[in-house]
Amino acid sequence: MRATQFVENINQPIWRWDHDHCQNDNTYNIVENEYHGSMNKNDPSNPTLSYGLLANYRCYQLNELISTWTADNNFIVPDYHPRNQGIDPTTNRPYASKFPLQSMHQLQQLLSESKGYNVELLSDLITKILKKKSTHNVTALREEYNNLAQGQRYFIKLFVAWIFLYGMWMRFWKGPGYDWAYDPRDTNVCIPSSRDEHILLQNNVYLALRDKWERVPILAKWIKQLPTVDYNFTSKDVEYLPDTMIHTIDQFLSGIECMGLGGDIFLQTGYYLITSVLDEDLDTFLSKMLPPLLSIERQIVTTQLSPGSEIYPYIQAMNHGTYIDEDIRDKIRVLNERNYELNQSTIQLAAFDPTKIVKNKHINRF
């Protein structure tokens, strides 16, 4: 399981072990039937957790959360009552009925740093509910997918194939026609400067795809629901991560996230979406989706190498022996390599063996 790091935002409510500034002391602990303000918040056998902003949060005891979430099999807010919704003292707005899913992932991380408290029951319960929700989400996504028009389903296949290949490119893959980059430390992978330029090209492929789906609201709605997952190729266990796939991609496009991490995230999510949500055989699926994706990339490469492009003056300068910055020379080199490879008559993909995948990480290969 990938440990998700949550950076505290002063404007984003989170879970803590703090209980010095509880704002809901006048509400009942529904298990003990006592005011929260009367509870022993220092009881190590039933520790108190808080949810909210710094010095402005609501407090709940461990057993109270276990009891509430077990009864409803959901992340119900104990202070919420359907008939009398009540006002959240931390926001001065009506209580939300449930805690946000993202906060549950953050709570899981907090519980792993439990300060010696016995939190196993609560942690296991959260895992169980999250797993049930992920199964439900897969079923709902598949049903919605099956109800879409044929052309819309085809476009979704194209995008999901791109997700898988995007992860592979991040692992220093040389591209179609070469073996998969099972281990980025192998010798049959590309050099870092080539990997970086490959990703810039794939970013442009993504933008071309996004431009098309954003014009079709029903398609955009389905795609924006796609999850980011942590998938174990050995055990086949899957964990839904807090961010959607689109938000995760945006993080990488903006340079916030490391491509070493992306090599795992996109490969795992793409594989899971192809085999579990779309219920496709991976090798057959990729062989069908590769040609149209390569066609998009070919158009991008051709445009970038053409007269009038931003880089064309540098191409001319290089041809006349003028010194060009190394980064630009790398870009031109990779564009020429991809231009040659993309214009080969047949490009075959090797069969993919998920058991060979080695966990990726940020590495300096040289």
pLDDT of residue 223: 95
pLDDT of residue 8: 47
pLDDT of residue 3: 36
Provide the residue type at 226 as one letter.
L
Compute CA 161 distance to the chain's CA centroid, rounded to the nearest angstrom: 15
Q: Are 41 and 19 in contact (CB under 8 A)?
A: yes
Domain ranges of the chain: 14-136, 148-302+314-356
DSSP SS3 for 133: helix
Per residue in 145-160, pLDDT tens?
999 999 999 999 999 9
Task: Give the global pTM.
Answer: 0.70
pLDDT of residue 101: 77
CB-based contacts of 335, cutoff 8 Å, min separation 6: 197, 301, 304, 305, 311
Confidence tier at 71 by pLDDT (50, 70, 90) = confident
Provide the residue type at 121 as one letter.
L
The pLDDT of 108-134, averaged and rounded, is 85
The pLDDT of 192-215, averaged and rounded, is 96
Q: Which residues of 231-263 are buried (b: 16+ CB within 10 A; e: fewer)?
A: bebeeeebbbbbbbbeebbebbeeeeeebebbb
DSSP per residue, 328-341: HHHHHHHHHHHHHH
pLDDT of residue 2: 39
d(CA 125, CA 70): 7
d(CA 262, CA 170): 7
The pLDDT of 244-258, averaged and rounded, is 88
Residue 363 pLDDT more than 60?
no
CB-based contacts of 86, cutoff 8 Å, min separation 6: 27, 79, 80, 94, 95
